[in-house]
Structure 1
Amino acid sequence: MTQHDVTTNAPADLSDEPDAGDALAKSTDAASLARSLARSGEIEADLDVNPGRYRMLTGVRPTGNMHLGHYFGTMHSWQSIQDRGVDTWILVADYQVITDRDGLGPIRERVLSLVADTLAVGVDPQRSTIFAHSAVPAANQLMLPFLSLVTESELHRNPTVKSELEATGGRAMTGLMLTYPVHQAADILFCQANLVPVGKDQLPHLEQARVIAQRFDKRYGRADAARPVFRRPEALLSEAPLLLGLDGEKMSKSRHNTIELRMSADETAKMLKKAKTDSDRHITYDPEGRPEVANLLTLASLCGAGDPQALAERIGDGGAGTLKQITIEAVNEFFAPIRARRAELIANEDYLLQVLAAGNAKANEVANQTLDAVRTAMHMNY
């Protein structure tokens, strides 16, 4: 991924950017990953010095209730990024619910639940923008010109699209699923976000957005001689801990193996008491050999119970029962204030709708400005 000096908000010259096809193919190779990690470190250091240079966008699909994996994976960072003075945008990706599903489910309930979770973890709607996909027509309209800038083979090479195709078992893929990377590019580029927190596996999506921005400028030229239409987004790579589900498998809403942020202390205790461990009574921290036990130790540690290795030594022969009880207490104590705040928020639907309406209005204002710049560059401003 092309890097540019941390002291400027202007993107690198287009001639410095790699060929689009090569960039997508190499976005996760060892050398490119090393560059992305180094660049992410530079950005992390610059955030405290020059927060005003950045606009951060992150998004969540409202396919179910947010859980501990979401919190420790990304949600915990939203407030800290906001509090550092970075312009923070949080997308409720409601349109993306139907990329791989036949229906929306209880979408209204889930959208408002996500807004409540977002506010409960410390996001301030006076300083951050919370908005919904479906409420920003101009952002979605960018899909049309963007689709003309990518090839079918590039879309099929995207890791998310490839894995979905492999998992369908012969079922036809929807057009929305195939163009999912382009939709994500529109999400990022419409609001001129130049910072996107991602894991290493999501780098190809971000590279696709950079490629689309690059191709748009090369094909249609710059709307202004001094700057391109779109800023080039860069990755803020997260080292999120890998938390397994309570059954020892990948944590997933669809597997019902998660602890949701909205759960009560009693519900949390009930879930954790059923968590999978193993038959060895002596507790050790061995992520490779004893992943389920290590998972509970990690979770307890993240919630303030201490270093997982030291915690395991302290439990010793206390067995899985002691481990689970310590984890229950740590989780419930850690999330008590978030849950209390969430309970207040979810009981006030009018306020949640006001927050979303205000965020939608701001997103529409920016999206319309971006679409005007796109139409100008394409000579379609008539």
Structure 2
Amino acid sequence: MTHTPEHETTTPTPAEEALANATNDASLARSLARSEEIRADLDVNPGRYRMLTGVRPTGNMHLGHYFGTMHSWRRIQDLGVDTWILVADYQVITDRDGVGPIRERVLSLVADTLAVGVDPERSTVFAHSAVPAANQLMLPFLSLVTESELHRNPTVKAELEATDGRAMSGLMLTYPVHQAADILFCQANLVPVGKDQLPHLEQARLIAQRFDKRYGRADKHRPVFRRPEALLSEAPLLLGLDGEKMSKSRHNTIELRMSADETAKALKKAKTDSDRVITYDPADRPEVSNLLMLASLCGAGTPEDIAARISDGGAGALKKLTTEAVNEFFAPIRARRAELAANEDYLREVLHGGNARACEVAEATLEDVRAAMHMNY
């Protein structure tokens, strides 16, 4: 049985209340409205923004990742936004005993990133284990948060509930602070997230605010850290092939690197239902509707139109159409990925170049932090 430690109770400040309520309806509505304002401004003023997004290399990237966030990376980059892609390798060990085949997974993630159109000449692709100055920010940042705040974070709470008696690691408990360091070290002010990640972004904003309030700086008009804002994903949530949440650990995904034959084999096993007439009904027929949505995202038409075309063709016809749509849509990405994966030296060159730029920016930020803390001896 898992026991939640008792924590001191104090009257929360307005900022702490904002963190605790980050996912309530009113806050979400504000975040959605602000996200739309930013989306419109990106077309007009891309130079105002530095975007950071990160992925943990715990397995191979799949279609959920692509339609959730990866598809937007090239568009944001091509608008002229300073784009940073974080390979979050240290975060692999937050809830695991080891890193697994980390080297292969990191290089695979770099190949996926470049295959979807990220240009290393215009974007920064880096691993945060290679940026010591960014990770050093964890120490002052940890002094700005309380244990009770960390335990209230939804990701930490979910992990604690899922441990089944296993003690949570210190790194898992401080996961929100590590994410804040990732965002703030490079002065990112735009972070693509799903609504479930809003509390993490609010934690980063709160840390930046507290740092400036506690330490300040001579130039009051230029705080040490920019305030990051959310760019909420517009993509619908895709289920896994078993009808559950799409997850690398559940092996219910279609990976970007899969061949056409492997994709067909995986989709043949996708869960549907016994009703032969195909209809788009996400509430009552989630598995069938999921395949319709996947085919739609791959350019086959609206889910309703696809369902009407299949009509009483049954699950077999649905899976065949979805397979054809997926394989046609991803064929050029997979071809480019195969070329990249065959050239490990180039992938390492891209990563080393990104690491060097990230280190340069992190050192400058750390110097600002030291100066504000009067630790620049």
TM-score range normalised by the length of the shorter chain: over 0.9
Give CA-to-partner distance per residue, 1:261-280, whole Å, 9 cap, x none: 00000000000011111111
Q: CA RMSD in A?
A: 0.8
* 8 Å CA contact retained: 1:156, 1:162: yes
* Separation in structure 1 between the aligned mates of residue 122 and residue 338 of structure 2, nearest angstrom: 22
Q: Does 1:300 align with 2:295?
A: yes
Q: Where do 4+ consecutive residues of structure 1 move more than 6 Å?
A: none
Of 122, 126, 129, 2:124 maps to 129
- In the TM superposition, what is the alpha-carbon distance from 1:106 to its structure 2 partner? 0.2
Contact 1:223 1:229 in 2 (8 A): no
Indicate if the aligned counterparts of 1:129 and 1:362 stay in contact, CA closer than 8 A. yes
In 1: Cα distance, 2:213 partner to 2:374 partner = 15
Deviation at 1:286, TM superposition (A): 0.8
In the alignment, is residue 329 of structure 1 matched against residue 296 of structure 2? Answer: no
**Hey, what's the Cα distance between the residues in 1 that align with 2:259 and 2:25?**
43
Q: Is the 8 A contact 1:223 1:373 kept in 2?
A: no
Aligned pair count reads 365
Alpha-carbon separation, structure 2, partners of 1:380 and 1:87: 30
1:12 maps to: none
Are residue 193 (structure 1) and residue 178 (structure 2) matched?
no
Once residues 308 and 36 of structure 1 are traced to their aligned partners in structure 2, the CA distance between those partners, rounded to angstroms, is: 28
Q: Residues 331-375 of structure 1, C-alpha deviation per residue, up to 9 Å, x if partnerless?
A: 000000000000000000000000000000000000000000000
Match of 1:262 in 2: 257
Deviates more, 1:272-281 or 1:219-228: 219-228
Q: In structure 1, give the amino acid aligned to 2:239.
A: L
Conserved 8 A contact 1:62-1:111: yes
Tell me, yes or no, if structure 1 residue 31 matches structure 2 residue 26: yes
Residue 246 of structure 1 is matched in structure 2 by: 241
Query: Offset at 1:309?
Result: 0.5
Q: How high is the TM-score relative to the length of structure 2?
A: 0.96
Q: Deviations over 1:283-305 (max 9, x none)?
A: 11111111110011000010011
What letter corresponds to residue 296 of structure 2 in structure 1? S
Return the alpha-carbon distance in structure 2 between the equivalents of residues 43 and 207 of structure 1: 17
Q: Does the residue aligned with 1:212 lie in a helix, a strand or coil?
A: helix
Give the C-alpha shift of residue 222 in structure 1.
Answer: 2.1
2:83 is equivalent to residue 61 of structure 1: no
Consecutive unaligned residues of structure 2, counting only runs of 5 or more, are 1-12
1:40 is aligned, of 35, 39, 57, to 35
Q: 1:375 aligns with which of 347, 358, 370?
A: 370
Secondary structure of the residue that 1:124 maps to in structure 2? coil
Match of 1:161 in 2: 156
Q: Are 1:206 and 2:201 counterparts?
A: yes
Q: Establish whether residue 184 from structure 1 lines up as the match of residue 165 from structure 2.
A: no
Deviation by residue 1:149-181 (Cα, 9 ceiling, x = unmatched): 000000000000000000001110000000000
Q: Which residues of 2 match residues 9-24 of structure 1 at below 5 A?
A: 19-24=14-19
Unaligned runs of 5+ in 1: 1-17
Amino acid at match of 2:137: L
| CA deviation after TM superposition for structure 1 residue 223, in Å | 5.0
| Alignment correspondent of 1:13 | none
* Per-residue deviation, residues 56-99 of structure 1 (Å, max 9, x unmatched): 00000000000000000000000000000000000000000000
Identify which of 280, 283, 287 aligns with 1:285.
280
Q: Does 1:318 align with 2:313?
A: yes
